[in-house]
Structure 1
Amino acid sequence: MSELPAPGSRVSLRYRLPAGSAKPLTDVIGHLERLTPTVLIRTKDGELVDVAPDDIVSVRELSHAPVRASEIRALEHAAALAWPGVEQHWLGGWLLRAGHGVTSRANSAIPLGVSAQIADLSAVLDWYRERDLPAWLALPERLLPIRSPGIKPTRVMVRELPAAPSTASVTLARQPDAQWLRIYEREVPVDVLTAVVDGRLTFATVPECAVGRGAVTTAPDGTAWLGISSVRVPPGRRRQGHARAVCEALLVWGAEAGARHAYVQVEVDNHEAVALYTSLGFRLHHQTRYVAAEDLVGPR
């Protein structure tokens, strides 16, 4: 049986039909209600489909609810403003970001405009070469017809605000202080961490235990989004609720800052983070990946 996502996930599942059926396989789309002893799926119309695990041929997780490409583009626009690097440049429909080569989000080009084309990639490559940086493309699904699998497949998960308890143990500050940077550990320059375009930032800390970053930015459709990122707990402090406390404090802050929706971007193989965000009410919106522009342009 293919590995199944958590109950509540929306999936497209292909499974075998009994011998003698008119066709050997069929598909069902719906939300997972149960994983054992059989897999139970509730379709959009409320029908319950019961499938034996051994009959499952393949499963693909879908966005928790149907999502239009325009909605993906709007959310990714807000997310790009939250991690813009220290230099930005619009090239056609592409937003190019550079941040000393540190972090993928701050050092990649993303097709945010409907005018973004694959034909622009030579110019994208030149822009990054002028800065002695590799030209990475951040490619949300469905925005451009590029089939390369790329690297760092990432889940973009969303939830509504507020509905989060206040967390007194968490402190918030406009800048990351020495303790925040020590707990975070990654060597990300402060000017990259504190960069935002037309938005607000906060840096959350559970003293000696955990940190996180919150950014509120606005998509072109007027939606204010809270982005939670840079959540870090030292190994000796994990599994004690500190990451949850940071996230809950950031959710409250985001609601107070005017956001009505929140998102996180988490690599698909970071199972602990996915589980945490799922428990906080986040659900899959879409997926992204990074592709090297040079692989698409070819030798020059």
Structure 2
Amino acid sequence: MLSWPNLGTRVTVRYRRPAGSDPPLTDAVGHLLAIDPMVRVRTKTGAVVEFAPADVVALRSLTDAPVRTSAIRALEHAVAAARPAAELTWLDGWLLRADPGPALSVNSAIPLDLSARLTALPGIVDWYERRGLTPRLAVPDRLLALPPALVSERTERVLVRDVAASSTQEPQDPPAGATVADAPDGTRWVGLSVPSEALLAWGARCGATRAYLEVVDDDTAGVSLAESLGFRLHHRRRYVTARPGGWDTV
């Protein structure tokens, strides 16, 4: 009997094609969306392959394919759009955000454009200090090189999974704990505050095809719960205090 991995795992599945097919067997490679009543695998092209569990003859789990920098930037655009701050401005490729709330995600500058460089730091520091706020940077993996010895205030894992298409499309009020936003590459994302099948289903009804969840890096229980629902690491995001004149001394 086959031992299926968690939903969201990248797999290769060999299965029987309909009687009389040539060749009689074929493979599906991608992320596992469902195993009952039908096996559903989303391939790298976005297509979903579907077949009966009884037709599966071999199964193997794969490591996740490397995440492209462009995919990280696109997802971070969607996250920023889903969580707008009270005040927003662009400065040399950085999106600067300020909000009365305490959340770092809406009180930090993030390098969302390819042109973003650390040379913008003095302007970022000035913008936040004029508002009586601590200047902070939110730096996702690979979008900007930071000094290696720099200590993060907070590191988050951004976990993702595919969302199965919904058979119903009735409009519903947005629930607490979920938001939907589009990325520049056309992907519609549902962002969750907690792992929840109900919130995933709501996102599917809104047309989302992928979901993300942010978990503090050392929250092993939160990461385990997310992984049990098929979420996998996409990238990490670090929050650091912008210290004028201190970047070359760390």
TM over 0.5: yes
- Given the alignment of the two structures, is residue 292 of structure 1 paired with residue 241 of structure 2, yes or no? yes
Q: Specify which of 165, 175, 185 is matched with residue 203 of structure 1.
A: 175
Q: TM-score, normalised by structure 2?
A: 0.68
8 Å Cα contact 2:165/2:204 also seen in 1: no
2-structure distance, mates of 1:261, 1:220: 14
> How do residues 187-202 of structure 1 correspond to structure 2 at under 5 angstroms?
202=174
8 Å Cα contact 2:140/2:237 also seen in 1: yes
8 Å Cα contact 2:162/2:210 also seen in 1: yes
> How do residues 253-264 of structure 1 correspond to structure 2 at under 5 angstroms?
253-264=202-213
Q: Quote the residue 2:162 is aligned against.
A: 160
Name the aligned partner's letter for residue 154 of structure 1: E
2-structure distance, mates of 1:119, 1:137: 13
1:243-264, CA deviations, whole angstroms, 9 ceiling, x for partnerless residues? x5xx111101111111100001
Q: Quote the residue 1:275 is aligned against.
A: 224
1:65-111, CA deviations, whole angstroms, 9 ceiling, x for partnerless residues? 20111111111111111222211111121011111151111111100
Q: Quote the residue 1:185 is aligned against.
A: none
2-structure distance, mates of 1:120, 1:215: 31
8 Å Cα contact 1:94/1:110 also seen in 2: yes
1-structure distance, mates of 2:222, 2:156: 12
Name the aligned partner's letter for residue 89 of structure 1: T
Name the aligned partner's letter for residue 223 of structure 1: T
- Given the alignment of the two structures, is residue 226 of structure 1 paired with residue 198 of structure 2, yes or no? no
Name the aligned partner's letter for residue 91 of structure 1: L
Look up the SS of the partner of 2:104 in the other structure: coil
Q: 1:142 to 1:258 in 2, by over 3 A?
A: same
Look up the SS of the partner of 1:105 in the other structure: helix
- Percent of matched pairs sharing the same residue: 48
> How do residues 69-148 of structure 1 correspond to structure 2 at under 5 angstroms?
69-146=69-146, 147=148, 148=150
Look up the SS of the partner of 1:262 in the other structure: strand
Q: CA deviation at 1:164?
A: 8.6
Name the aligned partner's letter for residue 163 of structure 2: L
Name the aligned partner's letter for residue 156 of structure 2: T
Look up the SS of the partner of 1:203 in the other structure: coil
2-structure distance, mates of 1:165, 1:157: 25
Q: CA deviation at 1:280?
A: 0.6
- Given the alignment of the two structures, is residue 251 of structure 1 paired with residue 166 of structure 2, yes or no? no
Runs of 4+ in 1 over 4 A off after TM superposition: 163-166, 295-299
> Unaligned regions of 5+ residues in structure 1, if any?
1-5, 11-47, 49-62, 167-171, 175-201, 205-212, 232-243
Q: Specify which of 175, 178, 181 is matched with residue 214 of structure 1.
A: 178
1:190-209, CA deviations, whole angstroms, 9 ceiling, x for partnerless residues? xxxxxxxxxxxx234xxxxx
Q: Which is helix-richer, 1 or 2? A: 1
Q: CA deviation at 1:139?
A: 0.5
Q: Quote the residue 1:190 is aligned against.
A: none
Q: Cα RMSD between the aligned structures?
A: 2.9
1:214-256, CA deviations, whole angstroms, 9 ceiling, x for partnerless residues? 1111111111111112x4xxxxxxxxxxxx5xx1111011111
Q: 1:298 to 1:278 in 2, by over 3 A?
A: closer
2-structure distance, mates of 1:254, 1:9: 20
Q: 1:164 to 1:158 in 2, by over 3 A?
A: farther
2-structure distance, mates of 1:153, 1:64: 21
| Equivalenced residues, count | 187
8 Å Cα contact 1:164/1:248 also seen in 2: no
2-structure distance, mates of 1:271, 1:263: 17
